[in-house]
Amino acid sequence: MFGITSTAMAQTATTSNAMLPSLSQLGFEEMLDIAMKNNIDVNLAYINQQQSEIDLLQSKLNLTPSLTGNAGQFYQSGRSIDRFTNQFVQKTIGSNNFQLQGSWVLFAGSQNRNAYKQSQELAEASGWDVKAQQYSLTLLLAQAYVQHLQALEQKKAAEQLVAASELQVKKAEILFKEGGTNKGAYLSVKAQLANNLSTLTNANNTANQTLLALKQVMRVKLTQPLLINDAGFGLQENDIAKLDKVEAQAIFDSLLIKRPEYQAAFNRLDAARYAVKVAKGSLYPTLSLGANLSTVYSDNAKSLTGYTISGTQAIGYLPSTMEAVYAPTFEYQMKTIAFNKQLKDNFGQSLGLNLSIPIYQGLRNHNQISYANLALDRAELNLVRIAQNAENDIFQVVANYKNAKERMQATLENHQMQKENLEYVLLRHEQGAASMLELQIAQNNEANAHWSYISARHEWVFRAFVLDFYRKMASGDAVDAQSLQNLKK
C-alpha cells in the first residue's frame, strides 16, 4: 500500500473542477486537504464504506419479521365460475383482492445471525480501507511535494551558476580585448556559460514537471496556478532525535496491529469465518412462522331485496287424474352487496408453522461450504502476506532513513570541501597563479557537489517524514492486551 513510485504520480488523472482556496501559498496540510477531497480512490473508499453500512443495516433487518401487503383490481370476462354462486356465468365481473402476509424465520441454522456478524466485520474493514487510502495518499503527496521542493532549489542553484558565469564572461571579455588573455580562455568561459544555461533550462523543465505531478496528486486543474509554501513538514529537532533512535523491530511490533490494511484484512478474516458458518447453516432445517389476512370484493356478489309473483308454470301431473300441478313464478330484485360489508364478510385469516428440511439438492450446500472454506484459507494467507509486507516495509523505511542521513552528511561534507577549494582556486586565479581550466574544473566540482547535496537533503527530508509517519502511527492509541493477543493469533 505504501509503495510509492514516481510513475504513480506521472499517470494521467481526471482533474477536479474544484478551485484552489484563495491563499497566497499552500502548505503541506492545505494541499493534503485538497487532495483528500478530490482523490477518486479515497472517495470510492468512502462509497464502499457507505455501501457496507447499508449491507450491515439490511442484514440486521433480516433478523426481523417480514410483512407484505397486496391489493389488486381484476376484470374477468367470458365463461367463468362465479365464486359466490358456484355457477357458470357469461359476463364481465370486476373484483378486488386485499391480502396481508407476514413471516418470521424462527430457526435456519443461525444463517441470518452469522450473516449479520459477517456484515459487521466487512463494515469495519471498509472503514479501515478508507484510512488505508488516506495514508497512501498522504505519502504519495509527500513525495511529490519533496520532489518539487528539490526541483525548485536546484533551479535556484542553477540560476546562481548562470549569474556567476555571466560575470566571468564579462571579465574575460574585457581581459581578451585588452590582451590579458587568449581567445581560447575567453571561449572556454563562454562555453561554460552556455553549459550552465542548458543546466538552468533542464532545472526549469524539471520544476515544471514536478509541479504538474503535484497537481495530479491533488487532482486540481493542471492549468490552475499553484503557489506552495517551501517550509517542508515542520519536523522539529526533538522529532529528528527520536527518529535517530528508532529500531525497526520495536516499531514493527507496535505498528503492525495499527496499520489499516492489516486491520481490514483481520476483519475480512473474521468475516470469512462467519461465511463458513452461514454456509454450514444451510444444512439445517428452516422453521418459520407465517400469518395471513385476506378479503375480497366482487361486483357480482348480490343480495335479495324483494320479489313479485309474475305468473305460474306447470311443475307436474297428478298420477290419478293426470291433472296439471302449477306453481307460481317469481321475479327477484337483487343489488350488489356494499363494499365494506363484502370486505367484512369475506375476511379470512390464517396462522401456521412451516418446516423445510434440505434432503438433497445436488450437493449444492456442501459445495458452498467448500467454497467458504477456500475463501477462509485465502483470507488467512492474505493476512500473513500483509504482515510480511508490513515487516519488510518497516525495516526498509528505517534503513532508507539511515542511508539517506548518511548520504546527506557525506554530500554536505563534500560540498563544503568543494566550496572551500573553489574559493582557493578563485583566489589563485585572480592572482594569476591558476588557469581558467583549473577554475572551471573547481566550479563544476562545486556545482555537482551542491547538486548532489540538494538531492540527498530532500531525500532525507522525505525519508524522515515517512519514518515519523510510521512512528506516530505506532505510538498512537494503545491496544488492549486481549485485542493484541487476538490479532497476534
Q: In this predicted structure, which of 145-159, 298-312, 451-465 has the lowest mean pLDDT?
A: 298-312
**Most confident residue range from 256-265, 295-304, 366-375:** 366-375
Query: The cell 572551471 sits on which residue?
Result: 440
Q: How confident is the model at residue 478 (pLDDT cuts 50, 70, 90)?
A: very low
Provide the sign of the torsion angle of the four alpha carbons 58, 61, 66, 70, taken in this order: negative
User: What integer pLDDT is reported at residue 225 of this predicted model?
Assistant: 86
- Per DSSP bridges, beta strands 79-81 and 66-76 are unpaired
pLDDT (mean) for 100-106: 93
Q: Residue 60 and residue 112: Cα distance in Å, rounded? A: 8
What's the confidence (pLDDT) of residue 245?
A: 85
pLDDT value, residue 194: 92
Q: Is the pLDDT of residue 421 over 50?
A: yes
Asked if 313 and 325 touch (Cβ cutoff 8 Å), the reply is no
By mean pLDDT, which of 56-60, 361-365, 428-432 is the weakest? 428-432
For residue 179, pLDDT over 80 is answered with no
What is the arithmetic mean of pLDDT over 86-114?
87
pLDDT, residue 17, reads: 45
- Are 305 and 335 a contacting pair, CB within 8 Å? yes
Average pLDDT over residues 390-395: 92
- With a pLDDT cut of 70, the percent of the chain lying above it is 91
| CA 230 vs CA 24, 105, 177, 464, 482: distances in Å | 12, 64, 45, 16, 45
SS3 at position 300: coil
Mean pLDDT along residues 251-274 = 91
pLDDT at position 88 is 76
Q: How large is the average pLDDT for residues 234-243? A: 78
Classify 42 as helix, strand or coil.
Answer: helix
In this structure, what C-alpha cell is assigned to residue 178?
585588452
Contact present, 100 and 68 (Cβ < 8 Å): yes
CA atoms within 13 A on the CB side of 249: 0
Using alpha carbons, select from 455, 446, 410, 465 the residue that is nearest to residue 149: 455
pLDDT for the residue numbered 20: 52
Q: Taking 50 as the threshold, does the pLDDT of residue 175 lie above it?
A: yes
Residue 142 sits at φ, ψ, to 5 deg, of: -60, -40
Q: What pLDDT digit, counting tens, does each position of 246-258 carry?
A: 888 888 888 888 8
Is pTM beyond 0.85? Reply is no
Does residue 21 surpass a pLDDT of 60? no
Residue 362 pLDDT > 90? no
Cell representation of residue 77: 370476462
Model pLDDT, residue 10: 36
104 DSSP β-pair partners: 289
Q: Contact 145/228 with Cβ under 8 angstroms?
A: yes
pLDDT at 189: 84
Residue pair 474/258 in contact by the 8 Å Cβ criterion? yes
Centre a 10 Å sphere on the Cβ of residue 345 and count the other Cβ atoms it contains.
Answer: 13
Distances in Å between the alpha carbon of 224 and those of 152, 215, 320, 461?
Answer: 18, 9, 120, 27
- φ, ψ (nearest 5 deg) of residue 124: -65, -40
Give the pLDDT of residue 482. 54
Give how far Cα 157 sits from Cα of 153, 163, 456, Å. Answer: 6, 10, 15
| pLDDT attached to residue 261 | 93
Which positions ≥6 away from 241 have C-beta within 8 Å?
Answer: none
Cβ distance 379 to 262 under 8 Å?
no
Mean pLDDT of the chain: 86
All three cell numbers of 476, joined, read 498512537
Q: How many CA atoms lie within 13 A of 9 on its CB side?
A: 27
Flag whether pLDDT at 383 surpasses 60: yes
Q: What is the per-residue pLDDT for 234?
A: 76
Question: What span, in angstroms and rounded, lies between the C-alpha atoms of 274 and 107?
Answer: 17
Mean pLDDT of 61-76: 90
Q: 190 and 171 in contact (C-beta within 8 Å)? A: no
The pLDDT, as a whole number, for residue 9 is: 35
pLDDT for residue 12: 36
Rounded average pLDDT over 231-241: 77
pLDDT at 356: 92
The answer on pLDDT for 135 being more than 50 is: yes
Residue 98's DSSP bridge partners are: 71, 295
Grid cell in block for residue 320: 290419478
Round to whole Å and give the CA distance between 273 and 372: 8
Predicted pLDDT at 489: 53
Mean of the pLDDT values across residues 146-163? 93
Distance CA(118)–CA(126), nearest Å, equals 12
Q: Distance between CA 403 and CA 484 in Å, rounded?
A: 32
Q: Say which residues have a Cβ less than 8 Å from residue 331's Cβ, sequence separation at least 6.
A: 307, 308, 310
Percent of the chain scoring above 90 in pLDDT: 54
What is residue 94's DSSP assignment? Answer: E
Query: How far, in Å, are 129, 304, 305 from residue 308 at the CA level?
Result: 85, 12, 11
Instruction: Provide the grid cell at 346.
Output: 369475506
